[in-house]
């Protein structure tokens, strides 16, 4: 048996990123993805709000029909409150829901945006990712992050301290298991002792599913440059927010000796059809105006844009179809 590695500062041998990504069947320069909700009853004791799994299947099918290329889901124990107040809402578990959707919608690319490494052992995340890679027939993207919503950590007694330190060790193990099928690592928080990841999914010879990181601060940007095939901007970053973030990402690539062109870039924004929506960052307007905003992201080099539509109803998914049509017209 070989000796485990010490705490890693770079990927294990054979586990380097390649910048692989999904291929849009519509041949768009920037693919369009949508975030679907995983909501259940708003508060304990309230009636079911109808957002069960089969409703999600129908919403996912509709999203693809109106022109989206990919589906993402959040990974949380509870609904996150932007002001970090105690949670009051429920949310479906992401991994099991993704497994059901991958079986119900064969060939549709999907993944967690992003899977929190603080909720699971890295070996479990790698195994779940490999299983979804098989269920989805090679259309899974593994998005990972270190988490941010303290109340859900405290709710289940999970450690919130030194999250990036813990994340770096988990990321090293996950990337090694999914890209090479094995890992051997002895860290402060996680260990993988001659661990194997079998069976492998359909893209095992290519290095498994693409790995995406969500990052905005320097250390996470560096980990992105070291490990990720793809990067996602800070949640709901505006067009004006992106240039300094992209500069930081390019700097991180230069520091680790990576060609920045090999790192796929993706962004996110919120679109609303509610005239009374108080959020000034929400994209609104005519279909042509909304499409023009999407083109601004594409012009910044984004390979995918993640759309959150509020309210996330089937009717609003249908209302977004003219936006996609206008985007495709150029």
Does 315 map to a domain? yes
Contact 168, 175 (CB under 8 A): no
Does 16 map to a domain? no
Give 275: exposed, middle or buried? Use CB within 10 Å, 0-12, 13-18, 19+: exposed
Res 281: pLDDT: 84
Share of the chain above pLDDT 90, in %: 75
Does 5 map to a domain? no
CATH value at residue 213: 3.20.20.30
Res 41: pLDDT: 45
Q: Rounded to two decimals, what is the model's pTM?
A: 0.93
Does 207 map to a domain? yes
Does 140 map to a domain? yes
> Which residues are CB-neighbours of 197 under 8 A, at least 6 positions away?
123, 126, 127, 130, 177, 178, 181, 182, 183
**Closest listed residue to residue 96, CA positions, set 113, 73, 117:** 73
Say how far apart CA 78 and CA 150 lie, in whole Å. Answer: 11
Q: In the 8-state DSSP scheme, what is residue 110?
A: E
Scanning the structure block, which residue is given the tokens 């500062």? Answer: 9
Name the token pair of 217: 């601060």
Res 5: pLDDT: 47
| Coil vs helix vs strand at 313 | coil
Does 54 map to a domain? yes
Name the helix (H) or strand (E) containing 257: none
pLDDT tens sequence across 257-316: 999 999 999 999 999 998 888 888 899 999 999 999 999 999 999 999 999 987 778 899
What is the number of domains present in the chain?
1
Does 177 map to a domain? yes
Res 22: pLDDT: 87
Does 12 map to a domain? no
pLDDT tens sequence across 158-169: 999 999 999 999
Res 53: pLDDT: 87
Boundaries of domain holding 256 = 31-329
List the chain pLDDT tens, one digit each, 330 residues. Answer: 554 544 446 899 999 999 999 887 788 989 999 998 755 444 555 555 546 889 889 999 999 999 999 999 999 988 766 666 676 677 789 999 999 999 999 999 999 999 999 999 999 999 999 999 999 999 999 999 999 889 889 999 999 999 999 999 999 999 999 999 999 999 999 999 999 999 999 999 999 999 999 999 999 999 999 999 999 997 778 999 999 999 999 999 999 999 999 999 999 999 999 888 888 889 999 999 999 999 999 999 999 999 998 777 889 999 999 999 999 998
Name the token pair of 257: 């000796």
């Amino acid at each position: 048996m070989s000796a485990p590695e010490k705490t890693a500062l770079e990927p294990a041998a054979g586990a380097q990123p390649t910048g692989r990504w999904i291929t849009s069947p519509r041949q768009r320069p920037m693919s369009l993805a949508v975030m679907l909700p995983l909501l259940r009853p708003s508060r304990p004791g309230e009636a079911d709000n109808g957002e069960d799994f089969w409703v999600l299947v129908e919403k996912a099918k509709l999203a693809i029909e109106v022109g989206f290329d990919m589906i993402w889901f959040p990974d949380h124990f509870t609904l996150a409150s932007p002001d970090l107040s105690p949670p009051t809402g429920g949310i479906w578990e992401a991994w099991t829901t993704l497994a059901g959707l991958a079986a119900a919608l064969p060939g549709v690319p999907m993944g967690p945006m992003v899977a929190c490494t603080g909720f699971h052992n890295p070996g479990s995340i790698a195994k779940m990712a490999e299983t979804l890679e098989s269920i989805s027939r090679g259309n899974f993207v593994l998005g990972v992050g270190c988490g941010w919503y303290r109340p859900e950590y405290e709710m289940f007694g999970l450690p919130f301290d030194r999250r990036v330190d813990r994340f770096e060790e988990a990321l090293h193990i996950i990337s090694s298991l999914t890209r090479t099928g094995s890992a051997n690592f002895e860290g402060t928080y996680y260990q993988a002792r001659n661990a194997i990841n079998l069976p492998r999914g359909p893209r095992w010879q290519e290095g498994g599913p693409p790995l995406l990181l969500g990052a905005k601060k320097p250390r996470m940007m560096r980990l992105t440059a070291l490990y990720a095939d793809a990067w996602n901007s800070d949640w709901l970053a505006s067009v004006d927010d992106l240039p300094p973030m992209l500069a930081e990402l390019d700097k991180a690539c230069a520091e680790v000796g990576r060609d920045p062109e090999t790192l796929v870039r993706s962004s996110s924004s919120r679109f609303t059809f509610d005239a009374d929506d108080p959020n000034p960052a929400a994209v609104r307007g005519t279909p042509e105006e909304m499409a023009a905003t999407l083109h601004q992201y594409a012009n910044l080099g984004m390979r995918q844009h993640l759309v959150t539509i509020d309210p996330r109803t089937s009717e609003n998914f249908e209302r977004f179809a003219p936006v996609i049509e206008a985007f495709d017209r150029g």
